[in-house]
Chain A
Amino acid sequence: MASFFKLTIMKTLIYGYGNPGRQDDALGIRLAEKMEEWIREENITNIEVDYNYQLNIEDADRISDFELVIFTDASIEEMNDFLFTEVNPSEATIEFTMHAVSPSFVIDLCKKLYGKTPKTFLVHIKGYEFDFIEELTENANLNLAKATSFLKEKIKELTK
């Protein structure tokens, strides 16, 4: 397994974001941590993992050296447990204050600044409660486990 990844894997970044002090908002960070453990256990060398509270403009620089980027985040959108979607720069949206930006905004900015558009996906995991608590809710934990299993298989598929 390890040698397979060493030889074939694309240069990949898994980037979790959210506030780990706000209960299920930590889902993106927790998934990135799970993947980091897996990468370590499998001795995979070409995947980096990063974390932050939210995405911002400097992340355009951060992702610019990667071929594949997988953002991981919490969500309160309607879904059963998690969704895995491709992100396109054309979907970039702006907020009023711009203290945080979307994954599509980051790759759009990366494209315009560096002429690069890494293949980008977003794993959004259903969360339920967002209080000042470090632990995930029970249902969020279940969703996290499903998303973790899925993403391990997906990375193998994407990087073949």
Chain B
Amino acid sequence: MNKITIEPVTRVEGHGKVTIHMDDNLNISQTRLHIVEFRGFERFVQGRPYWEAPVLVQRLCGICPVSHHLAAAKALDVIVGAGTGDGLTLVGEKMRRLMHYGQMFQSHALHFFHLASPDLLLGYDSDPALRNVIGVALKHPDLAVQGVMMRKFGQEIIAATAGKKIHGTGAIPGGINKNLTIEERDRFLKGADPMNIDKMIEWSLAALELFKGYQKQNKDFVDNFAVFPSNHLSLVRKDGALDLYHGVLRAVDKDGKKILNDVDYQEYSKYINEEVRSWSYMKFPFLTSIGKKDGWYTVGPLARLNTCDFIPTPLAQKAFEEYKAYTGGKPNHMSLHMHWARLIETLHAAEMIKILLNDKDLQSTDLVKKGKKLSEGVGVIEAPRGTLFHHYRINEDDQITMANLIVSTTNNNEPMNRAVNFVANKMMTGKKEITEGMKNAVEIAIRAYDPCLSCATHALGKMPLDIKMLDANDNVIDNYHS
């Protein structure tokens, strides 16, 4: 029996539904990716003491609780007067970064080895029952072990920095509640093979080479699958470097022109708005200055490598230069290149983990900083899937009176819809049934964005996919349920 959560049919949560409307000539007239977003958490947190938020928000998600934990803590840093992300003590900021890079490393490794590599190594049209890490284990056991151990290494970094695996308490308003012991540090630096950071860097490089080799051999497919122009948004460090933990908000248009020029995310609501569409519970964020129609944007690995100017670690920077050269320095709009970008970030995360482990500041005991209390704060972080916003207001009794969260998958709502539309037009025009190949293509397009619905739904991350093909009169022509 499978892990049971809330079935989509009974709770209408946590499932993706694709509808493809055809006209009388079997041309695609409309496609929609429906993702049901559960907004109950923002109401739930109201009235709770603000200092509980970094732990409470982990109830949202069993997939990336660290991202919510840190985004909430960053917002509360502002409220307790510790500044806006760069005002913490050295050990405070660096421990949080270590936790975050551990999360990024394990999440990206999971995505590559569990979701992407089966498609690459076994073929997009291979048996779906084996197109997963078990299939990889059968044909490429060494690679599957790498995936398992990379994921495990990242999880252990999280446990060491957050204090425990579930409902970690490492980040608190104004800092952290523990530093890294010498024993913990040495376990990651000098652990028995393969559980040490040098092996993780080596494997990250190997995974990157694996993708590049695949792309070279399958250039036509990889470079032409779900390609569409987009704006891109992410945090960048103030000097333009890739920074997954803290920075300013930058957005570029399809040609790379800055359309949001390194602004303070405390004022994100000036620049970003959310559109409600009648057919979807999930909102559609957009840049206010450009408007609803053209102001939508992509977040995540592809976006981050489109917005940043450089990567501040040597091996990832070298990979970044090669990646950027491929598009002549222009923004990359190829959905499957998301995997390439994700693996460069995996390498960067591993390099950052090594740098941080060797930093003696992590053994400092100056854990917390506080100043003049404020009534409002915003925390933004680059979660594995993209930019994550947490915004809180509190009253005189220290109770939260308002919470607003914009999660990464919501930010990617429009681009995921565009990707589905691209695939439907290319593969389903003139067809009357959903073939296995079509279904795979829709899944591949959505999966490239690594959507996680647990933020909006239940803890498990279970996500069945329904695809419905409808005629001009809304009659179902064909139906697929995973």
Contact = CB atoms under 8 A, between A and B. Distances in A.
Nearest to B142: A113
B337 interface: no
B464 A95 contact: yes
Nearest to A54: B62
B49 to A, nearest CB: 15
A159 interface: no
Interface in B95-147: 110, 113-115, 128-129, 132-134, 137-138, 141, 144-145, 147
Interface stretch (A3-11, A14-22, A39-47, A136-144): A14-22
Interface stretch (B1-9, B265-273, B279-287, B372-380): B1-9
A112 B134 contact: yes
B364 to A, nearest CB: 30
A100 B44 contact: no
A132 interface: yes
A98 B147 CA distance: 14
Contact of B148 (A61, A83, A95): A61
Contact of B166 (A52, A77, A103, A132): A52
Contact of B458 (A22, A85, A97): A22
B473 interface: no
Nearest to B11: A130
Interface stretch (B23-31, B240-248, B447-455): B447-455
Contact of B1 (A83, A92, A113): A83
A56 B151 contact: yes
Given A22-B59, A52-B165, A99 B461 contact: yes
A122 B1 CA distance: 8
B151 A57 contact: yes
Contact of B452 (A97, A105, A112): A97
B151 A58 contact: yes
Contact of A100 (B3, B141, B464): B3
A15 B337 CA distance: 37
Contacts, number: 148
B2 A21 contact: no
Nearest to A83: B1
Interface residues of A, number: 48
Interface string A97-122: 11110110100110011000000001
Contacts of A12: none
A74 interface: yes
Given A97-B451, A113-B137, A21 B462 contact: no
B143 to A, nearest CB: 11
Contact of B2 (A25, A29, A93, A112): A93
Contact of B132 (A60, A62, A94, A113): A94
A69 to B, nearest CB: 15
B225 interface: no
A99 B454 contact: yes
B465 interface: yes
Given A25-B459, A61-B149, A109 B59 contact: no
Contacts of A83: 1
Contacts of B482: 95-96
B328 interface: no
Given A25-B459, A51-B165, A124-B4, A96 B138 contact: no
Interface in B436-467: 443, 447, 450-454, 458-465
A61 B16 CA distance: 31
A109 B464 contact: no
B274 to A, nearest CB: 22
Interface of A: 17-22, 25, 29, 51-58, 60-62, 73-77, 83, 85, 92-100, 102-103, 105, 108-109, 112-113, 122, 124, 127, 130-132
19 contacts: A20-B167, A21-B459, A51-B166, A52-B62, A57-B147, A58-B155, A74-B4, A75-B4, A94-B129, A95-B462, A95-B464, A95-B482, A96-B464, A97-B453, A105-B134, A113-B137, A113-B148, A130-B11, A131-B40
Closest 8 CB pairs of A and B: A21-B59, A53-B62, A19-B459, A99-B461, A58-B152, A112-B137, A75-B4, A132-B44
